[in-house]
Each structure stands twice: as C-alpha cells, then as structure tokens.
Amino acid sequence: MAENDIKLDFERHERLGFDEAILSAGKSTEHLIAILKKAGDRSLLLTRLDQDALAALPTALTERIDYEPLSRTGFFGPVAAPSGTKEIAIVTAGTSDVRVSREAARTLAYYGTPCLEISDVGVAGLWRLMERIDEIKRHRVVIAVAGLDAALPSVVGGLVPGLVIAVPTSTGYGAARGGETALFSSLVSCAPGMVVVNIDNGYGAACAALRALQGGSK
C-alpha cells in the first residue's frame, strides 16, 4: 500500500460536521500505519479494530489510542470533552447486542456528545422496557439496537415521538441469517417513521443521530 493510494477526507468535518472514520477490519497493519501517519496530529476514530490488530501496531501509535474492547473502537488523538444535555438514548435488546450499541455510544463520545445507555431490555421481558419508557421518550433521538426478530425497535417506535433509528444486529443463527431478518423486520416495522442503518452499524446510527441534532448548513 503506497502512501499515494490513501487520500484522507480532512475536509469532511467542515462539510458534514464529522470526520472520516477508519473501518479497520480488512485493512493490513501496514495499511493502518500509513493512515495514522497521514493523519499526523489530527484525531481519528477507528472502528472494528480487533485487539490483535491493535497489538500489531507500533507502540508509538498504540499509546496515542484510547481503546475500548467490547465495541472494538479506538480514539486516535484527543477527543472532545462531553458537553450539553443528553438528547440521544441508546436502548439495546440483549447483552450480545451491546458490542454494537457501545460502538454508537463511543462514536458519540468521540464528538463530545453525551447519551443515555440502557441494555438488556428486549421485549421477551417487556416489563424491563416499560420501567424505563418514560425516561426514554424524552430524548430527541432514540437508537434501538436489536437482532433476531428486532421486536424492540417496533415496540419503542410505537411509544416514543422522537426519531427512532433501528440498528439490526447479526446476533443469532439459522433463520437470523446473519442479521438480515432483523434488518428486513426493522424496515417493515409496524411503527411509523422508523429509519434503519446497516447490520451492526452502531457507528452509522451515531452519525445519523448527530446529523439529526445539528441540522442543515448555516
């Protein structure tokens, strides 16, 4: 991977309000090093960075990375301090889905945006969700993370008035089809006006929430 194969989109922040993130999965160590060198003093969000891939980087780089293993995210360089009130809630169906919802939370943290995280409130135990629903519905954006039949986003979408972003996950086997069942199920949710991102894409859901909060260009 020669250096001129890489053109980081440093103007993205100005244009869209957030930086280019680096999807680390599928990139070689050599490739990741070239990207981090190109970044120089700028901060970068690294997603899907396996612990093995992290360990393979030179220490001079890893010591500049704030890594969280469950979400496999790394902050390269300093990030914004959290500020403002919580306008985004993240609710998660099962504990196996937390790897995805944590990616969303970490993406928000990278931009200094605080959020409420509530886990393990899948509808198989509906009372767990109902206990928290009044708190959840006060948020402008709700990110609902669920695999399998993705019943959680539908139930949430029928109860809260803000923007509901469904994140289908690849949790499950057989007819779960690697998350496609949750994806299609979310797309045809009986709750009106739900929107959907790609399977396991916690990063994308967070970016969408940031877009919804920041609005258009001035």
Which of the residues 86 through 105 are near its own copies (CB under 8 A)?
A: 87, 92-96, 98
Tell me the C-alpha to C-alpha distance, in Å, between residue 123 and each of 27, 88, 159, 201.
Answer: 37, 21, 13, 21
Single-letter amino acid, residue 46: L
Does the footprint of its own copies cover residue 25 (CB under 8 A)?
yes
Contacts (CB under 8 A) with its own copies, residues 49-88: 70, 87
Structure tokens at 73: 């995210």
Q: Considering only residues 108, 139, 144, 145, which one is a binding residue for its own copies as defined by CB under 8 A?
A: 139
Write the DSSP symbol of residue 123. Answer: G
Closer of 59 and 192 to its own copies (Cβ)? 192
Tell me if 132 contacts its own copies by CB under 8 A.
Answer: no
Asked if residue 203 binds its own copies (CB under 8 A), the reply is yes
**48 phi, psi to nearest 5 deg:** 50, 45
Residue 195 binds its own copies, judged by CB under 8 A: yes
- For its own copies, the closer of residues 64 and 138 by Cβ is 138
Residue 59 or 173 with smaller CB distance to its own copies: 173
Please, what is the minimum distance in Å from the beta carbon of residue 45 to its own copies? 10
Instruction: Quote the least distance from Cβ 123 to its own copies, whole Å.
Output: 5
Category of 11 on φ-ψ map: left (φ > 0), alpha (ψ -120 to 50) or beta? alpha
Residue among 59 and 121 whose Cβ is closer to its own copies: 121
- Choose the stretch contacting its own copies; rule: CB under 8 A; options: 56-64, 77-85, 108-116, 197-205: 197-205
**What's the chain's length in residues?**
218
Number of Cβ within a 10 Å radius of residue 205: 28
CA geometry: angle at 127 spanning 121 and 128, to 5°? 30
- Range 27-46, binding its own copies (CB under 8 A): 27, 31, 35
- CA torsion sign for 56, 59, 63, 64 is negative
Please state, in angstroms and as integers, the Cα–Cα distance from residue 62 to each residue in 1, 51, 102, following that order.
20, 11, 21
